[in-house]
Amino acid sequence: MSPSLSNKKALVYDWGSFGHTAANLATEFAEVWYHVPWVAGYPTSKPALIGKDLETQGVERVRDFDAYVDKADLIVFPDCYCYDRVDFLRRHGYRVWGAGKAEELEIERIKAKTIIAEAGLPSTDYEIIKGFDKLRKYVAAHPKDIFIKGSLFRGDIETYQVKDLASFEAWIDKEAQKLGRPRQETVEFIVEQKIDGVEFGYDDSTVDGQFSGITAWGYENKDLGYIGQVCDYDDLPKPLKIVNAALAPWLRDYGARTFFHSEVRWGKEKKPYLIDPCLRSGNPPSQTLYKILGNWPQRIWAGADGENVDHTKLYNFGAQIQLYSPWCETDFLPVTVEKEAEDWIILKNATILHGQRYIVPTGQDMIGAAIGAGDTLKEACEMALKHARMISGMELEYDATALDGAMEQLKEGRDYGIQW
């Protein structure tokens, strides 16, 4: 029998994207505190506002993280760039759910190549190129079907796919301006060749390299939408099980008690290429996972102590449509959600001021997601699209065909022997 969490207190440390983790914990924990870092040499009030909207879901937004550490029975880190805090707290006997040092598999992409190879997994062809001038020359000789990635500093460089020289020149000019001249010739890029095949991923969590007996996997239409399926672990597509089994010893040795997502490409070679592992909540599909997989509070509580507790199944399928608004890159965005969709519209960087829900401007245009779930994939997709229509705000937009793109990948997967 699972222990009661009704007398336990949890503390969540987040950068603002995964307040839904705190809301889910609040369904079973007596108290849940949510902290978004705001301290700087010259702090502003904006990050200190994020999370105020969670108070309607039983979560208390707290300003000072350290003041609550000794009060908490569980401390949760749903995102990356927290390895030092995670490791420090664990060394001092705290019960912690988080990637810790294992996050280097995601954020230190150059080192990750070595980890993946040592695990016995196939590696993509890649080169490390230093400086913008050398990158321009390389791309001029390879004008399409390559991916450019940065390492460690996610805010500097996001993954970029080269499709034509004109678009690449516009992209690299913008990146050069953003980084500044002194950094232009010292920054390192990882340049990978495109791998033919279909891409899908394992979407759940891991406890020291162990996985839940009931779990999920799915397809993402990059930055637009996601479809996922709940299944028994043994029924996962073979490539995902191969990748998980290969990484399991490393995840165990690094104490990875955390959310875990893989992006795997599988083609005619029948080799599972691990593209971009994720040692945190994914966006997507973490918002969907809380709707289709149950028992998260118990799994996180036990997993933080090294015990692998299984999920329960809430729905067979889930779907997610990403929501955007360029308005909130620089200005507070007031949003209104229809009552029917309140539990299915998951917002990030949100707050409540004077009774009105806002998205706090952080320089990003993604504001959240509309979720659907059902016993059939059709039901889940129709529900997600219905909910996407139930939120309004300045310049708010989404791709109404986002799930069609994910469905196309599903069909392509079947051509490569991946059964849905």
Residue 370 φ then ψ, to 5°? -105, 130
pLDDT single digits (tens) 99-158: 999 999 999 988 999 999 999 999 888 899 999 999 999 999 887 789 999 888 877 888
Fold of 9-103: Rossmann fold (3.40.50)
Among all chains, which residue has been given the structure tokens 């289709």? 292
Under 8 Å between Cβ of 82 and 55:
no
pTM for the full predicted model: 0.94
> 63-77, 99-113, 204-218, 303-317 — which is least confidently predicted?
99-113
Q: CA nearest 50: which of 319, 413, 367?
A: 367
pLDDT single digits (tens) 280-296: 999 999 999 999 999 99
CATH 3.10.110 assigned to domain 125-193? The reply is: no
pLDDT single digits (tens) 297-341: 999 999 999 999 999 999 999 999 999 999 999 999 999 999 999
- Prior bond of 182 cis (ω within 30°): no
Residue limits of CATH 3.40.50.720 in the chain: 9-103
Residue limits of CATH 3.30.1490 in the chain: 125-193
